[in-house]
Amino acid sequence: MSRTWGFTQAVDLAEAHDQMTAMMPIPLPPVPTTQRAGPVQVRATIMKVRTAGAYREFTVHAPGVVPGAQPGQFVTLGVGGESSALLLRRAFALSGVDGDAVSVVVAAHGAGTRWVFERGPGDVLDLVGPLGRPFPAPSPGAAALLVAGGYGAAPFVGLAQRLTAAGHPVAAVLGASTAERLYAAQELAPLTQVLVVTTEDGSAGRTGRVTDVLPDLLPGASVVYACGPMPMLRAVAAQAAARGLRCHVSVEEAMACGIGVCMTCVLPVVGADGTSRFLRSCVDGPVFDAASVRFDDIGRLPDDVQGASAMLTTR
Q: Where in the chain is the domain with CATH 2.40.30.10?
A: 40-131
pLDDT at position 287 is 97
DSSP class of 165: H
pTM of the entire predicted model:
0.86
In whole angstroms, give the CA distance from residue 211 to residue 27: 28
What are the φ/ψ torsions at residue 233 (nearest 5 degrees)?
-60, -40
DSSP class of 107: -
pLDDT averaged per 10 residues, the chain (length 315): 42 40 36 60 96 94 89 93 79 91 93 94 95 95 97 94 95 97 93 96 96 96 96 97 97 85 90 90 95 91 78 59
CA–chain centroid gap for 142, Å, is 20
Q: Where in the chain is the domain with CATH 3.40.50.80?
A: 1-25+137-250
Cis amide prior to 286 (ω within 30 degrees): yes
Closest CA to 5 of 204, 222, 189: 222
- Looking at this protein, which amino acid is placed at residue 21? T
Strand 194-199 vs strand 206-207: parallel, antiparallel, or unpaired?
parallel
Class level of CATH domain 40-131: mainly beta
pLDDT at position 140 is 94
pLDDT at position 306 is 84
pLDDT at position 311 is 67
Class level of CATH domain 1-25+137-250: alpha beta
